[in-house]
Every structure is written in C-alpha cells, then in structure tokens.
Amino acid sequence: MKMFSAIGAIVLAFTNMIAEEIEKISKLEGIYCRITYYHPYQDKWGSRVACPKTYRAKQGITVAAHPSFKFGTQVYIPELAGKIGDGNFIVQDRGAWVTKKKASKGKHYVFDVFVSCKSSYNKMKKNSPYMWVYASK
C-alpha cells in the first residue's frame, strides 16, 4: 500500500511539473524563426555584444535578435534545450544578419545564438535551421 501511495505522489509531482511548464510556455508567443549560430572567433567583435548592460556574450544565455525584440527580452527555444543550456536565452546582441533577416531571405525573424567555440558552432550547425521560438511578452 505504501508503494502505491509513493508512486501516486511521484505521478502527482510529475503532473504538477508538466502543468507548470505548459502554463509557462502558454504565456509566451510562439514564432517560427531561422536559427543561426556565432562564436567569438568569427569577426573583430569577438564575444562583445551590443547591449549596453552586458559586456560579453555567454553560451547558453546570449542571443542576437531583430530590433523588434528589445534587449533583455527572454526567449525560449525548446529544440536547443539540453544542447545549449536549458533553451532559455536573453536578447543581448544585434547584427546585420538578424536585423535584415538575411539568413531567412527576409521571410522570418532570425535568432543568432552565441556558442563559445568553433567546435560547438560546427556541432550546432547540424540542427534544423528553422525552429519555434517563444518570446516573453
């Protein structure tokens, strides 16, 4: 009997966790976007970012986005959860490719995710180029 009540408690806790995640995601607005990646050795900017409150980009945190997304906006990319941090990022950078939506040929928003090294960059490029992004309102 104790085993069934323990299993019931585990199932209840798991159900509550799922309900909290669904509630969190439902408060966000989903957008189908082009995802690209950048690392500090690609250009003269290195890991410096455009956000005046942040000096350096950090893997698992920093993402470059279109000016429609203000600095500090939190975004969640479920397909990157477990690959780059937990999938939660903060808009801390800009760039011509995201501002002009060049990577999507002007059709979709572009999110450029910061990775700390070239090997991570090469690994992440193997992911699907288009993903759902949930931005906090």
| pLDDT mean values, one per 10 residues, the chain (137 residues) | 55 49 55 92 75 86 94 95 93 90 92 88 88 88
Question: In the structure encoding, which two tokens stand for residue 76, read together?
Answer: 């969640």
CATH class of 29-135: mainly beta
**Cross-strand bridge partners of residue 35:** 111
pLDDT score for 80: 94
Check residue 72 and give left, alpha or beta (phi > 0: left; psi -120 to 50: alpha). Answer: left
Q: What are the residue ranges spanned by the domains of the chain? A: 29-135
pTM to 2 decimals? Answer: 0.73
Buried b or exposed e, range 102-111, using 16+ CB within 10 angstroms: ebbeeebbbb
Residue 40 and residue 57 in contact, taking contact as beta carbons nearer than 8 Å: yes
pLDDT score for 87: 94
For the CA atoms of 57, 61, 64, 70, what is the dihedral angle to 10 degrees? -110
